[in-house]
Every structure is written in structure tokens, then in C-alpha cells.
Amino acid sequence: MANHASAEKRNRQRIQRTARNRAITSSVHTVVKKARAAIAGGDAKSAAEKVKEASQALARAASKGSLHARTASRVTSRIESALSKIGR
């Protein structure tokens, strides 16, 4: 329990930040999941579109600080690598 005004404010900020980060992270996970499903489906054209959306979402989340920059880069690299393998 916060006993000072500054501690109460930090608690309010924590709640807002957690909600925002959870929403951003959840949407990123959904987009990445759809991209991976499209890659598994084998249709290169639709998969390329989904991968593009996923990489944009990952970059946006990393720029906002919801996701670590290296995590976003790693996931982007892996899904783009998987896409290139079905394009052959």
C-alpha cells in the first residue's frame, strides 16, 4: 500500500503502463502467430504480406519499449528466414 503521494502516483503509472504494454504485446503475438500460420500454409504471396505486417508490428512495439529491440529483431529475422525458405 502506497503511503506517500509520489508512491501513489507511481502505482497509477505502473497500472497504465502495464495495461498498455500488455495490449501491444498481445497484438504483436497475434500478428506473428498469423504470419507463422501463413508460412506453414505454404502460400508465398499471402505469407509475405503477413510477414510484412508482423515485422512492422514488432518494430513498433520495440520503438515503444513494450518489447526489447533484440527480441523484435530476432523474431523478425526468424519469420523472414522461414518465408524465404518457402519462396524457393
Tally of domains within the chain? 1
- Provide the pLDDT for residue 87: 72
The C-alpha R_g of the chain, in whole angstroms, comes to 17
Render pLDDT for 9-22 as a digit per residue (tens, 0 to 9). Answer: 999 999 999 999 99
Which ranges constitute the DSSP H helices of 1-88? 5-41, 44-64, 69-87
- Residues 6+ positions from 8 with CB-CB distance below 8 Å: 2
pLDDT along the chain (88 residues), means of 10: 92 97 97 97 93 98 96 98 88
Q: Is 60 helix (H, G, I), strand (E, B) or coil?
A: helix
> Apex CA 67: angle with CA 62 and CA 71, to 5°?
90
Range of the domain at 33: 5-87
CATH no. for residue 67? 1.20.58.110
Grid coordinates of 25:
504485446
